[in-house]
Amino acid sequence: MTATDPPPDDRIVGEVCAAWLGAACATAPLPATGFSGAALFAIDCPAGRFVLKSFAPGTASRAAWVHGLMRHLARAGVETVPALLETPGGETLVADRQGRVWELVEFIAGRPTAAPSAPQAEAAAAALARLHRAAATFPTQSAAAPAGLARRIERAGSLLEDPWEAVLGRLPAAAPADGLAGRLREPLEAAISVFARAAGRRALERLAGLRPPPLAVQAVLRDVWAEHVLFAADQPQRVAGFVDFHAAGIDSPAADLARLLGSWHPPAVAAAGGLLAAWAGALDAYERERPLAAGERLAIPLFEATGVIFGLDNWFRWVFEERRSFPAVEPVLARVGWLLGRLPEALATLAKIPTPGQLGPV
């Protein structure tokens, strides 16, 4: 489903639910937390409470891969994976008359937090380690794909060749001030200013010359961030579940750790020591379940820093160059603002890469 697709009507939602539950259910739209425009509904019926989610036409194979991973994790005993409902025919995906694909998953009762306590951070990291340990045995023919860090090092060269100043220079001088493109122009100018003050070009040159460590790759979540980790309401130090698995893919587990740790507000007493120092307790909890290779630990800050820089680059190019549309403007502006706030720290991390580019402590 894209930003321009009409929302599914109640009849379609009812038909899709009936494929699983075979009975009338109460449905209520849920606010989407992502940017895909997927339709989300809370489903209440005698069998329990569930979440119904749509996917764009043509994405069934991708969703089926994700469902295969989720079922693998569940069979391995990972308790933080929402249960997928199957139709009487054993299917976990249902197509509606308009070509959309749907899933129905167990509703996870819990609350996210962007500022976890130390016990919460440790519980989330340990739960992620158990998930990674189980996901390592998920069969995939893409296991030899280059890890995301290597791709980001390559991308540094592209940003050096076509910097944000060039993106700004290609914009029309009298662009409308409203709409997403109009409102994103000021953050683009701010990012250019931050980049210049922090010697961003030099930092990118260091990144482009980096020789990354060998990193084992496997199935990982890739979008495991604060909003997607739910803690039990009655036991706030227990992880009730991870939600929204549909960004999952093949990469280093260090990428997941960077995404999660970087999405949290670090404790004030540890914020100045960098990502690894701020969340040392969480990393220790992770390693009690799944020890980190030396290269993985060193890569975590670089995954986080490059995620900030190229996250901003994605938004600027999606909106200004590719002219993509999104269901709502405010969530996009909020995400860009969050990334912009982390840009100085990200560039400072890259500035610590030693010359001539051999990865060491950062």
Q: pLDDT at position 326, please?
A: 85
Report the SS3 class of residue 88: coil
Q: Which range has the worst mean pLDDT, 6-10, 198-202, 224-228, 354-358? A: 354-358
Question: Where does the pLDDT of residue 177 fall: very low under 50, low under 70, confident under 90, or very high at 90 and above?
Answer: low
Q: Give yes or no for residue 146 having a pLDDT over 70.
A: no
Q: Give yes or no for residue 2 having a pLDDT over 50.
A: no
Q: pLDDT tens for residues 230-254?
A: 999 899 899 999 999 999 999 999 9
Q: pLDDT at position 139, please?
A: 87
Q: pLDDT at position 241, please?
A: 97
Q: Give yes or no for residue 45 having a pLDDT over 90.
A: no
CB 260 within 8 Å of CB 99: no
**Structure tokens, 197:** 């003050």
Q: Which range has the worst mean pLDDT, 46-60, 158-172, 246-260, 307-321? A: 46-60
Question: Within its chain, how far is the Cα of 320 from the centroid?
Answer: 22
**Structure tokens, 328:** 């709502």
**Structure tokens, 280:** 């040392």
Q: Give yes or no for residue 173 having a pLDDT over 80.
A: no
Rounded-to-integer distance, Cα 140 and Cα 130, Å: 19
pTM: 0.90
Angle of the 148-161 helix axis to the 294-316 helix axis, nearest 10: 40
Closest CA to 97 of 6, 1, 16: 16
The H or E element containing residue 342 is helix 329-351
Q: Give yes or no for residue 108 having a pLDDT over 70.
A: yes
pLDDT above 90 covers a percentage of the chain that reads: 66
**Structure tokens, 247:** 């960004």
Q: Give yes or no for residue 207 having a pLDDT over 90.
A: yes
Question: Where does the pLDDT of residue 144 fall: very low under 50, low under 70, confident under 90, or very high at 90 and above?
Answer: very low
Q: Give yes or no for residue 72 having a pLDDT over 90.
A: yes
Average pLDDT over residues 344-352: 93
Question: Where does the pLDDT of residue 359 fall: very low under 50, low under 70, confident under 90, or very high at 90 and above?
Answer: low
Question: Where does the pLDDT of residue 80 fall: very low under 50, low under 70, confident under 90, or very high at 90 and above?
Answer: very high
Rounded-to-integer distance, Cα 27 and Cα 45, Å: 9
Average pLDDT over residues 4-14: 71
Q: What is the CB-side half-sphere exposure of residue 205 using CA atoms within 13 A? A: 6
Q: pLDDT at position 158, please?
A: 96
Q: pLDDT at position 1, please?
A: 41
CB-based burial, 17-45: b 16+ in 10 Å, e otherwise: bebbbeeebebeeeebebbbbbbbbebeb
Sorted by where each starts, the structural domains of the chain and their CATH numbers stand as 10-106 (3.30.200.20), 118-351 (3.90.1200.10)
Average pLDDT over residues 12-19: 88
Q: What is the DSSP string of 138-152?
A: S--TTTTSPPHHHHH
Average pLDDT over residues 313-325: 95
The per-residue pLDDT of the chain, averaged, comes to 88
Angle of the 118-135 helix axis to the 60-75 helix axis, nearest 10: 100
Q: Give yes or no for residue 141 having a pLDDT over 80.
A: no
**Structure tokens, 19:** 């494929």
Average pLDDT over residues 175-188: 86
Question: Where does the pLDDT of residue 7 fall: very low under 50, low under 70, confident under 90, or very high at 90 and above?
Answer: low
Q: Give yes or no for residue 186 having a pLDDT over 60.
A: yes
